[in-house]
Amino acid sequence: MSLTRPTTPVALVTGGAGGIGSAVCQRLASDGYYVVVGAYTGVEPAEELAATIEKEGGAAEVLQFDVKVPERVTAAFSQVMTRHKRLDAVINNAGTTVPRPLADLDDTLYDRIFDVNVRGALNVLREASRHLADWGRVVNISSTLVRSPIAGSGAYAASKAALELFSTVAAQELGPRGITVNALRVGPTVPGMFSQAPVARQAAMAEASPFKRLGQPQDVADVISFLVSDAGRWITGQVITVDGGTTS
């Protein structure tokens, strides 16, 4: 992989090989970032994404680590800092969900969802707070299910609500360093987690948008591109809905 120049900003994207994550990585690379594609499983797709970015003239590498394990997150951030000497943006995108009625939500499934979406996100946010350069950027990926939950979404929606609260607090704590922290409430997007939804529900959500379509990963990536740019310097502590009007 290409080596970054000292003046090249560095972005770390967790869950970087997923539907939204891959679009974010490609967009940030096109914006001039050296992109660190964070991956736990799906390392092969992450490597393919990094190779595509390089072929298109960008710069990227893959960093495999488990956001659930604090020591591995700490080691991953240390590796980024050792290699690049800087970190300018962190996109907290790794997440998981398994739809399940509350009556059937056992401890194992609860732990699985909260370990990634809450503990994992906090692990990443904590290291970002320690290593981001002044005037850096954090974007946490939440869900419109926080505002408009449906049957079976209780654990997932609650985990994302916690992430939104982390975002608000982190914005206050990191603001004195010029670092912005925002959360995106992402609506139904394909490819992405919503690809698992029944076809009928996908059609209903597309119909609910004034644009009569589902979201695409690029729709989210474009908003992130703005937030991490200098143009987004005065936006922090916000929860921004990115859903094409689906839940308005």
Q: What is the pLDDT of residue 188?
A: 87
**Domain membership of residue 175 as a residue range:** 10-242
Model pTM score: 0.92
For residue 2, being part of any structural domain is answered with no
From the list 33, 34, 40, 156, the catalytic residue is 156
Per-residue pLDDT at 79 exceeds 60: yes
Q: At what angle do helices 154-174 and 107-114 cross, to 10 degrees?
A: 30
Look at residue 3 and tell me if it is in a domain.
Answer: no
In a domain, 154, yes or no: yes
- The answer to whether residue 248 sits within a structural domain is no
Q: What are 180's strand-pairing partners?
A: 137
Note the pLDDT of residue 201.
Answer: 79
pLDDT exceeds cutoff 60 at 223: yes
pLDDT at residue 2 greater than cutoff 70: no
Report how many domains make up the chain: 1
Comparison of pLDDT for 211 and 73, the residue scoring more: 73
Mean pLDDT of the 25-42 span: 95
34 is catalytic: no
| pLDDT surpasses 50 at 3 | no
Beta carbons of 25 and 45 less than 8 angstroms apart: no
Residue 102 located in a structural domain: yes
How many angstroms separate the Cα of 182 from the Cα of each of 73, 205, 206, 240? 21, 25, 26, 8
Residue in the block written with tokens 């919503």:
194
C-alpha 248 chain-centroid distance: 22
Instruction: Establish if 109 belongs to a structural domain.
Output: yes
The answer to whether residue 146 sits within a structural domain is yes
Q: Which residues contact 41 (CB under 8 A, 6 or more apart)?
A: none
Query: Which residues lie across from 100 on neighbouring strands?
Result: none
On whether residue 190 sits in a domain, the answer given is yes
Give me the percent of the chain exceeding a pLDDT of 70.
Answer: 96
pLDDT tens track for 116-153: 999 999 999 999 999 999 999 999 999 999 999 999 99
Q: What's the pLDDT tens digit per position in 158-209?
A: 999 999 999 999 999 999 999 999 999 998 887 766 766 777 777 878 777 8
Identify the CATH number of the domain in which residue 74 sits: 3.40.50.720
Look over the chain and give the mean of its residue pLDDT values, rounded to a whole number: 93
Comparing 23-27, 101-105, 142-146, 190-194, the range with the smallest average pLDDT is 190-194
Which phi and psi angles does 90 have, rounded to 5°? -130, 125
Tokens 């703005």 found at: 226
Decide: residue 147, CB within 10 A, 0-12 exposed, 13-18 middle, 19+ buried: middle
